[in-house]
Structure 1
Amino acid sequence: MSKFKQTSISDIILDIVIYTSLFILTFSIIIPILHIFSVSLSDSEAVLGLKVGIWPVGFTIESYSKIFTTKLIPNAFKNSVIYTLVGTVINLSLTALTAYPLSKKELTLRKLYMTLIIITMYIGGGLIPMLLLIRGLGLFDTMWSLILPGAIATGNLLMLRSFFQTIPAELEESAKIDGANDFLIFISIVIPTSKAALATIGLFYAVGHWNSFMGAIIYLQSFEKMPLQVILREIVIKGTRLDALAYQDPLESMKSEAWSTRMKYATLFVSMIPMMMVYPFVQKYFVKGVMIGSLKG
């Protein structure tokens, strides 16, 4: 009985530690987001006087009005959405189509294929050869230069392969008895069974596309094709004002430091919205999906 009580007390202490840690972690994430949102909705005087905490002071939507009335940010936002959606669909399709046959032990030269794929995790061609390849294929300054080079991530491929190996072979055997071919089995049985894995890996791919900016800096020349993250880099890191980036009248681009800060924070918050909207819909798959690489080697 005393052992049971001792175990219960230890469980309670463990729960307290876990929930306290989660609360601190959540608090440390939410507070900066609230501060960014509040600064973007506050007036310049309050921002300049460092009066803004987690609640707007001198409420105004001027920053957001400026963002959406200037073509620069909406166009970059549209580019990022297109690159992310198209890229994620291509990523998931090619990763799943490659991982499925590699999960089958009867695949001819399976070990050779796996060895060649794993080598790519440690050895890359380098930036200059990749740039020459992109130019040679006619992909330079196009959307495909950001999508096709990373169409399959080796780590995600290996995780999805591991998940496919956990699918009971009896399901596929019964489908074959009914006359289904490999492609029909893949579409009607494997894909529906792998929703958690696909949702998790899809989220990894989508976040990668959304946050990527290095590829755009290297492979894109046309400013109107730049994704939102490149514009954010210009605004936040270089401190460039929105009006200057939009090539408007130089007199109009001379804003105060407070105005520049408000614009930076408003743009930052706008860039967070898509991922914050997507995550709740895939959250139910995420807990199960993140374990896919540890289920079977």
Structure 2
Amino acid sequence: MFKKLSLRDKMFTIFIYSILIVVACLMLYPLIYVLSASFSNPERTVLGEVWLLPKEFNIESYLTVFQNEDVLIGYRNTIIYTVFGTAINILFTILIAYPLSRRDFYGKEVITGFIIFTMFFGGGMIPTYLLIKDLGMLDTIWAIVLPGAVSVYNVIIMRTFFQSIPDELREAASMDGCNNITLLVRIILPLSMPIIAVMALFHGVGHWNSYFDALIYLSDEDKFPLQLFLRQMLIQEDMSAMTSSGTDVLAEHLLQIEGLKYAVVVVASLPMLIIYPFLQKFFVKGVMIGSLKG
């Protein structure tokens, strides 16, 4: 097909591919650098000798991370929060977006207006904390998964996707005796797997990377997510370095912290990087279809 293009089209295609390659390299290089630095001697990293491949390969930083039992506890809690929280996000988003996509749903414009209003105005951190406290959700999983159970932006995307499904399918299902629940479960949702996969990715990454809500609402360390344990680990290493006596000991601690930082980034990011390729085929289709109409 490339041979059939005119010279101008060939030049334009080469230009576009060149730009995409440059952008891809710019986005991939930080990931490669962090991975290489995590397996390198921290001293080489500090001296700027690590560019692409590890220098003086070692895994001491990873051993330091995984020798900490709290990391395994954090992994367990983060997986629970991510799976359970994402399921709640998807369920609530579908239950809100589907009725708003129906033309026969009375008052959907008013309800949509109220929902969009929350995108621009909120109570703030202190009123939210007081609300969570009064509801008795402090130091529980509900404080992590319920406050952000619904994203208005994602509701709008999913509603638009539902609106792209032909009304003829709904009419045919109604003539065959389907009620609204059966229509949603057996027809609409199977056709909506691309947008559901995209929403699962959005919410899953958000829950996996979240630590601020846990920092505010949780006090029991057995319920801390991975990111909070990693944050504490880095802080403890920093404090240990600050209180170290002797120049040599201080320098050793600083080098250890340097390697530990890169290992922590890899440990925290790797699961999401592994999952993304399996959802990538749905990603573009789901977002494009969900953003065609306002």
TM surpasses 0.5: yes
Indicate the residue corresponding to 1:247 in structure 2: none
Residue 270 of structure 1, CA deviation: 1.0
Out of 43-52 and 175-184, give the one that drifted further.
43-52
Which whole-Å CA distance do the structure 2 matches of 1:170 and 1:243 have between them?
A: 65
Which whole-Å CA distance do the structure 1 matches of 2:43 and 2:209 have between them?
A: 32
Out of 258-267 and 21-30, give the one that drifted further.
21-30
Q: What is the letter of the counterpart of residue 211 of structure 1?
A: N
Residue 217 of structure 1, CA deviation: 1.7
* Change beyond 3 A, Cα 1:100–1:58: same
Indicate the residue corresponding to 2:176 in structure 1: 178
Tell me, yes or no, if structure 1 residue 241 matches structure 2 residue 232: no
Which whole-Å CA distance do the structure 1 matches of 2:128 and 2:89 have between them?
A: 19
Q: What is the letter of the counterpart of residue 101 of structure 2?
A: S
Q: What is the letter of the counterpart of residue 241 of structure 1?
A: E
Indicate the residue corresponding to 2:124 in structure 1: 126
Indicate the residue corresponding to 2:78 in structure 1: 80
Alignment of structure 1 residues 108-127 onto 2, 5 Å: 108-127=106-125
2:196 corresponds to which of 191, 195, 198? 198
Contact 1:88–1:206 (Cα < 8 Å) also in 2: yes
Q: What is the letter of the counterpart of residue 237 of structure 2?
A: R
Indicate the residue corresponding to 1:94 in structure 2: 92
Out of 218-227 and 256-265, give the one that drifted further.
218-227
Tell me, yes or no, if structure 1 residue 212 matches structure 2 residue 210: yes
Which whole-Å CA distance do the structure 1 matches of 2:287 and 2:25 have between them?
A: 23
Which whole-Å CA distance do the structure 2 matches of 1:243 and 1:83 have between them?
A: 29
Identity, in percent, stands at 41
* Change beyond 3 A, Cα 1:242–1:277: farther
2:103 corresponds to which of 99, 102, 105? 105
Residue 172 of structure 1, CA deviation: 1.9
Residue 119 of structure 1, CA deviation: 0.8
Indicate the residue corresponding to 1:153 in structure 2: 151
CA deviations on 1:160-190 (whole Å, 9 max, x unpaired) are: 1111111112212222222221111111101
Which whole-Å CA distance do the structure 2 matches of 1:148 and 1:108 have between them?
A: 28
Residue 87 of structure 1, CA deviation: 0.8
Contact 2:71–2:230 (Cα < 8 Å) also in 1: no
2:267 corresponds to which of 254, 266, 270? 270
Contact 1:64–1:266 (Cα < 8 Å) also in 2: yes
Which whole-Å CA distance do the structure 1 matches of 2:41 and 2:261 have between them?
A: 14
Contact 2:97–2:155 (Cα < 8 Å) also in 1: yes
Tell me, yes or no, if structure 1 residue 141 matches structure 2 residue 130: no
Which whole-Å CA distance do the structure 2 matches of 1:242 and 1:189 have between them?
A: 55
Residue 128 of structure 1, CA deviation: 1.5
CA deviations on 1:124-149 (whole Å, 9 max, x unpaired) are: 12212111110011111112111101
* Change beyond 3 A, Cα 1:39–1:103: same
Normalized against structure 2, the TM-score is what?
A: 0.88
Which whole-Å CA distance do the structure 2 matches of 1:118 and 1:97 have between them?
A: 16
2:60 corresponds to which of 55, 59, 62? 62
Q: What is the letter of the counterpart of residue 210 of structure 1?
A: W
Indicate the residue corresponding to 1:281 in structure 2: 278
Residue 42 of structure 1, CA deviation: 2.0
Aligned residues: 283
CA deviations on 1:238-284 (whole Å, 9 max, x unpaired) are: 5x42996xxxxxxxx97522211111111111111111111111111
Indicate the residue corresponding to 2:49 in structure 1: 51
* Change beyond 3 A, Cα 1:56–1:127: same
Aligned CA-pair RMSD: 2.4
Structure 1 unaligned segments of length 5 or more: list them.
Answer: 245-252
* Change beyond 3 A, Cα 1:29–1:233: farther
Indicate the residue corresponding to 2:257 in structure 1: 260
Residue 44 of structure 1, CA deviation: 4.2
Partner of 1:291: helix, strand, or coil? helix
Normalized against structure 1, the TM-score is what?
A: 0.87
Indicate the residue corresponding to 2:243 in structure 1: none
Alignment of structure 1 residues 160-171 onto 2, 5 Å: 160-171=158-169
Q: What is the letter of the counterpart of residue 271 of structure 1?
A: A
Out of 95-104 and 42-51, give the one that drifted further.
42-51
Which whole-Å CA distance do the structure 1 matches of 2:16 and 2:215 have between them?
A: 42
Indicate the residue corresponding to 1:34 in structure 2: 32
